[in-house]
């Protein structure tokens, strides 16, 4: 069993004004928490992963091809592998989404691990130097 507090996990900017953190990664899927600032967007992209998720806060327009749908808090969504899509947060509230990817998004896991290792090194250097970080 694995249990983590998401507040202890490193958040990073993976598109301008779009922040994410890998909550948990398994053999077959990745849980990824995404925050998109109000009025901002995840640009048009595609990936080989199936993606499902739930909107935890805010409201966004999900666009895939000519299909445009509004997703609000509590609604779930799915993108097929290689489906081109983008997400635009509408309204004044930031959008918060829990995405689940299969297979795992190893590039997100690697990025977060690297950032966490760098933070740990900086904290250790600060402790050794007697500096509060």
Q: Could you tell me if residue 23 is inside a domain?
A: yes
Task: Provide the sign of the torsion angle of the four alpha carbons 58, 59, 63, 67, taken in this order.
Answer: positive
The answer as to whether 123 is a domain residue is: yes
More confident residue, 21 or 131: 21
- The reported pLDDT for the residue numbered 121 is 75
What Cα–Cα distance (Å) separates residue 71 from each residue in 22, 26, 59? Answer: 22, 27, 6
CATH number for the domain harbouring residue 49: 2.60.120.10
State how many domains the chain has. Answer: 1
Higher pLDDT, 111 or 58: 58
Q: Tell me the average pLDDT of the chain.
A: 91
Asked if the structure places residue 2 within a domain, the reply is: no
pLDDT > 90 fraction of the chain, expressed in percent and rounded: 69
Residue 34 lies in a domain: yes
Is the pLDDT assigned to residue 123 strictly greater than 90? no
> So what's the pLDDT on residue 10?
82
Q: Determine the structural domain holding residue 104 and report its residue range.
A: 11-129
Q: How far is residue 85's CA from residue 52's CA, in Å, rounded to a whole number?
A: 13
Q: Is 72 part of a structural domain of the chain? A: yes
Give a yes or no: residue 6 inside a domain. no
CA separation for the pair 14, 43 (Å, rounded)? 11
Q: Is residue 79 part of a domain?
A: yes
Percent of the chain with pLDDT over 70: 96
In a domain? residue 3:
no
Question: 36-90 pLDDT, tens per residue?
Answer: 999 999 999 999 999 999 999 999 999 999 999 999 999 999 999 999 999 999 9
């Amino acid at each position: 069993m694995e249990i983590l507090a998401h507040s202890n996990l490193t958040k990073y900017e993976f598109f301008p004004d779009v922040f994410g953190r890998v909550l948990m990664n398994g053999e077959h899927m990745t849980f990824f928490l995404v925050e998109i600032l109000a009025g901002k967007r995840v640009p048009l992209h595609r990936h080989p992963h199936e993606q499902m998720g739930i909107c935890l806060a805010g409201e966004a327009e999900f666009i895939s091809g000519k299909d445009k749908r509004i997703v609000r808090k509590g609604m779930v969504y799915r993108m097929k592998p290689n489906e081109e899509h983008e997400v635009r947060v509408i309204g004044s509230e930031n959008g918060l989404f829990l995405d689940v990817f299969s297979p795992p998004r190893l590039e997100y896991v690697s990025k977060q691990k690297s950032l966490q290792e760098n933070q740990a090194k900086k904290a250790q250097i600060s402790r050794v130097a007697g500096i509060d970080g």
